[in-house]
Chain A
Amino acid sequence: MSATIRLKTPLSDSDVEKLKAGDKVLLTGVIYTGRDAAHKRLFDLLKEGKPLPVDLKGQVIYYVGPAPAKPGQAIGSAGPTTSGRMDAFSPKLMEIGLKGMIGKGMRKKEVIEAMKKYKAVYFAATGGAGALLAKAIKKAEVVAYEDLGPEAVSRLEVEDFPVIVVNDTEGNDLYQQGMQQYAR
């Protein structure tokens, strides 16, 4: 197990190429939320050749639909949702420059291949630890698709947001490695 790496967003090719499956990372900077419905809309815009409401070059998308913020909070509970549902859309977003995805759960082979091809990584945050993870989110502001409610795209400012690298740019998969190591 490697030491914890501190990383600032947006991410460059060389930032992500240094990351290996199993690395613990603390992310600081801006990340964007996006889950099922928002991915569908972004994907449809790209298909029609139209501009996106957010430039995703070098950016990180966090698959999350937060709980509403209480007065005085930046955001409500905000843990990751299951990433596999975004698999159909992710390769296209990496093609236009997306560098990181944060979620939980397995990715399809095509998505892992796209990470190698376009230089991007997939991070896992602890699913179900939404109250804890919300502490690392200092500011949240809806920037697109407000009508989607919890599925709107928000710009988050995070400080030392804790994640672990699951899939790196070499095609390694921490879920496979971890399971093999502990299977009996």
Chain B
Amino acid sequence: MREIHASEIAKVVKSLCIEANLYLGEDVLAAFDRAEKMEESPVGKEVFEQLKENARIAREEQVAICQDTGLAVVFVELGQEVHIFGGDFNAAINEGVKQGYQEGYLRKSACHCFSRANTRDNTPAVIHVEMVPGDKVKITVAPKGGGSENMSMVTMLSPSDGIEGIKNRVVEWVKQAGSNPCPPIVVGVGIGGTFEQTALIAKKALLRTLGEKNPDPKLAALEEELLTRINNLGIGPQGLGGRFTALAVHVEMIPCHIASFPMAVNINCHAHRHKEAVI
């Protein structure tokens, strides 16, 4: 049994919150470069220039890429041979979020649903824990902005809707979202499971390295077709018209009930942020 002190968890979460919000991933920057070259709209090209410049300023001056530094969504893969001691595990994650958002000059965006009173420290974090073999703890922090999260959807299709039903719902959904989720976007699609699982795998699909295909060739082909259809909508960077509405579509699928065909869409804006660490 490996022992890990709760304060170590807090320390790692704190730095991941800061890193995720300040440093845009190399995969995203490379996608900007590719898209900027291929974008036909002059305004769209300018948007990519601005986004690259924005990422440079954020990195060099150590400021948030986007003012919406999100709710802190924390995925934990907890090795079953690990014993966390010296404190409450969830409290340690929240402590890390609190310190990271305070010391990193990140915006605190958590509030009471009715009064809208800000909790002032960006807690509570959204924590997803999965038990895995081994004696390591993998922590991923994925700050989630409100604008793109508001454009999420879960629906229970009928099995008879088939794969065409999935395609049409995803494309229609992205079309009605239009300029709201800050295109160019990354589209996470969850298929199967139950109501809550399908939403969770749609969100987890966003953690994949940008543009990396699903290993299942059928799902990889679905990703490709959805990306083409979404980019044919013409919404373009920032919704101002152009070729690049989405940078990638990531699909994840798990088995579902014989009566069901659940699906979910979770969208990330171009500030496609997540950072991970293994303890």
Chain B min CB distance to A148 (Å): 7
The answer on a CB contact under 8 Å between B238 and A182 is no
Partner of A127, one of B57, B58, B182, B234: B182
Q: Quick one: CB contact mask for A107-131 with B, threshold 8 Å, 1 for yes?
A: 0000000000000000010111111
CB–CB B271/A182 < 8 A: no
A81 touches B68 (CB 8 A): yes
Count contacts between A and B, CB distance < 8 Å: 167
CB distance from A150 to the nearest CB of B (A): 5
Q: Are A150 and B108 in contact (CB under 8 A)?
A: yes
- The reply on B64 being an interface residue by CB < 8 A is yes
Are A130 and B64 in contact (CB-based, < 8 A)?
yes
Report A-chain residues with C-beta under 8 Å of the C-beta of B241.
174-175, 177-182
Size class of A's contact patch? 35 or more
- The answer to the question of A76 belonging to the interface, with a C-beta cut-off of 8 Å to chain B, is yes
A143 to B66, CA, bound (A): 23
Q: Which residues of B contact A66 (CB under 8 A)?
A: 67, 107
CA distance in complex: A96, B50 (Å): 34
A91 to B13, CA, bound (A): 43
Partner-B contacts on A (CB < 8 A): 1, 36-37, 64-70, 73, 76-79, 81-82, 84, 104-106, 124, 126-132, 134-135, 148-151, 164, 174-175, 177-184
**12 extra A-B contacts, CB within 8 A, seeds A76-B64, A178-B241:** A67-B106, A67-B107, A76-B63, A79-B67, A104-B182, A106-B179, A127-B147, A128-B270, A130-B67, A131-B64, A175-B240, A182-B243
Q: Would you give 15 A-B contacts (Cβ < 8 Å), ordered by A? A: A37-B116, A65-B67, A65-B107, A73-B63, A76-B107, A79-B68, A128-B51, A128-B270, A129-B51, A130-B54, A130-B64, A135-B57, A178-B236, A182-B41, A182-B243
